[in-house]
Amino acid sequence: MKRIVVVGAGQAGALLVAKLRGLGFDGQITLVGAEPVPPYQRPPLSKAYLLGEMALERLFLRPESFYTEHDIDLRLGAKVTSIDPDARRLRLGAEVVEYDALALTTGSLARQLPVAMGGALRGVHVVRSLADVDAMAPEFRPGRRVIIVGGGYIGLEAAAVAAKKGLEVTVLEMAPRILQRVAAPETSAAIRALHEAHGVRILDSTGLERIEGEAAVTGVRLSEGTWLAADFVIAGIGILPATELAETAGLALDNGIRTDTQGRTSDPHIWAAGDCASFPWRGTRIRLESVQNAIDQAELVAANMLGAGKDYDPVPWFWSDQYDMKLQIAGLNTGYDRVVVRAGAARSHWYYAGEKFLAVDALNDPRAYMVGKRLLEQGRSPDPAAIADPASDLKALLRA
């Protein structure tokens, strides 16, 4: 194999090409990124970077010189317009680039509010890219009014930044509670209380009729008719896997680019990793939107492109920083039927399906997170009574 091309210069793409070189691949590597800046971290965008606590250079995963020093052809501000799997080549602008193996790490796209609802008005923002955050940063001035559409993690992190900067913040959530899709009522209630303590107004079971204004946002009309004044709006309504290129190339899709357990797509010469890829996992098929997945899956795919033949079986983990709260999550809570609450000096929520331990939400409780993650890695289910007793020694569960 002489030439590997990686399309998508986010966390997964950057880690994949670095791993290829680390494993000794000495052929040609081309990394194509649509954005005009080197690969960077996304999580700090809606937190430290938006707060002004992190400089642009600190966002970059590696200095641009790294790619030159490791003979990686980094193409920035470039777009692949088509892939020809039969000929094993792609079109990059006017240039045709051939490959022996191709990896798609195209990531995901922010869901946009429809134009008919006012989604194209000036002052309507999403939080996905560096350009998105740079565009909205000037809006964050004390006393201004922001409406955040969506009570998921992205929306709530933006709400926390806005509140810390002295804005008047309202969060609209269509579901009966924030974080309903991803967290138990106990976690939702704790995060809601945290926001309300910082002056954020959360409107549950509230739909958005439209955003109003001539050219720029002046307010929003709620589904029941109420009008709320606003200086700008942030849409935190989720993301979609970026699959357009894969689809036009004829690759199989299934909630993202469909891969096998090793990261190979329906074309044996094309691989996928990160937000854009779905993969078999313990009897089901999942797609993970997390830094952990972008790193681990990309590095495994790099090894498999070179013949390692390893299956991907992660213990998913996530985190969210809001105010002085660090929420750390290990596992997936899909299918839980009860939540065991451990409340003492710190707080954690443990998800079970019957007697099987599925996941833990640790709220400023790194010990609970660490123990829960280790138990999941070992395939063990701790006694719920021991979890619920704040006097019990969590670490002892690892020795039991």
Q: In whole angstroms, give the CA distance from residue 388 to residue 102.
A: 49
pLDDT of 105 reads: 98
All structural domains of the chain with their residue ranges:
3-109+239-305, 112-235, 324-399
pLDDT at 1: 81
Contacting residues for 307 by C-beta, under 8 A, at least 6 apart: none
Q: Are strands 28-32 and 3-7 parallel, antiparallel or unpaired?
A: parallel
DSSP 241: E
| Cα→Cα distances 206→24, 151, 173, 176, 382, Å | 54, 11, 6, 8, 39
103: CB partners within 8 A, 6+ apart: 4, 5, 6, 7, 13, 16, 270, 271, 272, 273, 301, 302, 305
Which fold, 112-235? FAD/NAD(P)-binding domain (3.50.50)
Contacts of 205 (CB under 8 A, 6+ apart): 173, 174, 175, 176
**Does the pTM of the predicted model rise above 0.85?**
yes
Name the residue type at position 83: I
Specify whether domain 3-109+239-305 bears CATH 3.50.50.60. yes
* pLDDT recorded at residue 177: 98
Strand order across the 72-75 sheet? 72-75, 28-32, 3-7, 101-104, 270-272
Distance CA(10)–CA(41), nearest Å, equals: 8
Predicted local distance difference test score (pLDDT) of residue 345: 83
C-beta of residue 372 within 8 angstroms of C-beta of residue 360: yes
Domain pair 112-235 / 324-399, same fold: no
Is there a contact between 103 and 272 (Cβ–Cβ < 8 Å)?
A: yes
Q: pLDDT tens track of the chain, all 400 residues? A: 899 999 999 999 999 999 999 999 999 999 999 999 999 999 999 889 998 899 999 999 999 999 999 999 999 999 999 999 999 999 998 999 999 999 999 999 999 999 999 999 999 999 999 999 999 999 999 999 999 999 999 999 999 999 999 999 999 999 999 999 999 999 999 999 999 999 999 999 999 999 999 999 999 999 999 999 999 999 999 999 999 999 999 999 999 999 999 999 999 999 999 999 999 999 999 999 999 999 999 999 999 999 999 999 999 999 999 999 999 999 999 999 999 999 988 999 999 999 999 999 999 999 999 999 999 999 999 999 999 999 999 999 998 7
First and final C-alpha spacing in the chain? 48
SS3 336: coil
Three-state secondary-structure class, residue 331? strand
pLDDT of 282: 92
**60 exposure class (CB count in 10 Å sphere: 0-12, 13-18, 19+):** middle
Q: What's the one-letter identity of residue 139?
A: E
- Domain 324-399, CATH class in plain words: alpha beta
In the three-class reduction of DSSP (H, G, I as helix; E, B as strand; rest coil), residue 384 is classed as helix
